[in-house]
Amino acid sequence: MTSPLDRKTSLPAGSNASMMNVAGVSPLNFSAVNLAEEWKLWLKKYQMFEIASNFDKETDQRRVAMLMHSMGGCGMEIFNSFNMNDSEQYVYNTVVTKFTEHFDAKCPITLVRHKFFTCKQQEGQSIMEYVTELQNLSLSCKFQNLRAELVRDIFIAGLSNKKLQMMLLKEQKLDIDKAVNMCRAVETSMDHVNKTQDSAPVMKVTQKFIPKSKKYQSNNGPSSSSGFNSNSSSGFSKTNKVVKCYRCGRLGHYRNRCRVKILNFLIMKNTGYTLFLLLKHWTTGHFIHKTH
């Protein structure tokens, strides 16, 4: 007579599981570093499958058969190593307990606790993802009544935001739930501010072009630019009409551009033709450098 574990497992007729693929529950990863934690996570997924397919209402014999079929790998070899009698090997809870004890013995407690104590929030990891990772790691550490306090302490120590650390350390009565809520409130506010800044229109500021002041000619002769006048209300340079030469007393040019000194020199030399050319080009602003 063949054992029910050796026969092909069939799903109950009319159940929702008939529309589901049992292979959708991935086999247990027996090569995982922390096999105890891997088993607990896999068992949770499998139990969810049982509830969704109404297979948890079946007999223990069929549930054990489905468990072993879904586990795959060397699950059957481990099952046979338990040396259970016929009355025990078909009790679902007994089989699950045996596997849990087997995998817990394979994982050193020092390794699990080391991973817990060195756990830190990674870049891009949210507060909820970080605290969930800590909670899962603490399950296998056997902290007993100290579990909640240790999770709180490692949570604060591993935060990547130092301002959040300082805020939590100032709290007198703080548990893990309160710490997580405070950090989530800050995280949500920061995300809202960042989204608001990203969606706000960016005003492009350009510098207004101010053209250079033009040269204006006065009745007395050419004028030159006097430069930008910061006291001017219009923003343009002061016109040369209000500039007075302190050498000849005329308006329109500065002292260093005055031509009276050159004119007096030419009169003293009595160079009539050169004086004529100078007077001719007075209004154009050209100097006569070569005499004839």
> What does each of the 292 residues of the chain score in pLDDT, given as a tens digit?
445 454 444 444 444 443 344 546 889 988 887 788 889 889 999 999 999 989 999 999 999 999 999 998 889 999 999 999 888 899 999 999 999 888 887 777 888 899 899 999 999 999 999 999 999 888 878 898 999 999 999 999 999 999 999 999 999 889 999 999 999 999 888 888 888 776 656 555 556 555 555 444 444 444 444 444 444 444 444 444 578 887 777 887 887 887 776 656 555 555 555 555 556 555 455 444 444 4
Rounded to 10 deg, the angle between the 176-199 and 147-157 helix axes is 30
pLDDT at 32: 80
> How many Å apart are CA 148 and CA 135, to the nearest integer?
9
> How many Å apart are CA 268 and CA 279, to the nearest integer?
15
Tokens linked to 256: 């260093």
Cα Rg, the chain, nearest whole Å: 46
Look at residue 131 and give its three-state secondary structure: helix
> How many Å apart are CA 15 and CA 221, to the nearest integer?
109
User: Nearest to residue 257, comparing CAs of 273, 240, 272?
Assistant: 240
pLDDT at 278: 57
pLDDT at 233: 44
pLDDT at 61: 92
As a whole number, the mean pLDDT across the chain is 75
pLDDT at 192: 82
